[in-house]
Amino acid sequence: MLSDKFSSLREAGRRALVCYVTAGHPDRARSLDLVRGLQDAGADVLEIGVPFSDPVADGPVIQASSQRALELGMTLDGALELIAEAKLTIPVVLFSYLNPIIAAGPNVLQRAHDAGVSGVLVTDLPVGADPGREAWFGKGPLDFVRLVAPTTPRERMALIARDGRGFVYLISRLGVTGMQSEIASTLPASIATLRSVCTLPICVGFGISTPDQARTVGALADGIVVGSAIVAAAGRSVAEAVALTSSLRAALDDAQ
């Protein structure tokens, strides 16, 4: 489970490298090679995205990867089959919009657990939006990872942290996913505020794409999430994505 991974990282004095990929991108065979390669390159957690036709929270890189995967026939069940086949030894978080999960049926969380998934993150289910659905996730077999925006008030941060499990995903800036040249100047204050009301590990994502950025954010948070940069690299070659992950791992270890 995610808690065990973060406990072992904390004991070792290391920061978590969380890598996002879109299931079925660039195609199924290379997607399988990719997740195994990222694990070998030093990823601590994999977020595996379920392709969706209307990924409003994602920038152009991940949108394009999702569209490509859909065109090749990838589905939520296909993503679970890929995860099961990969036989990964690091935790996997299923990253999805709400609609595909609802459409997959009431036993989808158990099926995901049986396939080797440890956690679930739903991009379009903010705290309080649907208490019944949130309770369903919270009582399920997967750690329910919650998102915190940089504009979230402290009181709401506390509520999100209370309801979440595994880790909290802190969005570094406003907008959609995508690579950025600079880290938001408000990030240190956002992390400090969240940490004051949260005992879960804090992982920061949105915009981290280079080793220097990984080093900078790793010095502040418990981990980083890298998505668009890895997805873009994977679109060119699996080897390039794996090499990028290795460089991020090395930089993150420098941040200790």
Helix (H, G, I), strand (E, B) or coil at 167: coil
Distance of CA 67 to the CA centre of its chain: 19
254 among known catalytic residues: no
User: What are the φ and ψ backbone dihedral angles of 46, each rounded to 5 degrees?
Assistant: -110, 130
- Helices and strands: H and E segment counts in the chain: 12, 8
Measured between alpha carbons, how far is 191 from 172 in angstroms, rounded to an integer? 9
Cis peptide before 26 (omega within 30 of 0): yes
Measured between alpha carbons, how far is 242 from 255 in angstroms, rounded to an integer? 20
47 among known catalytic residues: yes
Give 150-155 contacts, CB < 8 A, sequence gap 24+.
150/174, 150/184, 150/186, 150/187, 150/190, 154/193, 154/196, 154/197
Q: How many Cβ atoms sit within 10 Å of the Cβ of residue 225? A: 28
Q: Which of 4, 11, 47, 182 is catalytic?
A: 47
Please tell me the number of Cα atoms within 13 Å of 29 on its side-chain side: 1
Tokens 């460089």 belong to 247
Closest CA to 121 of 109, 103, 105: 109
Q: Which of 27, 40, 58, 222 is catalytic?
A: 58
**Residue 201 amino acid letter:** P
Active site residues: 47, 58
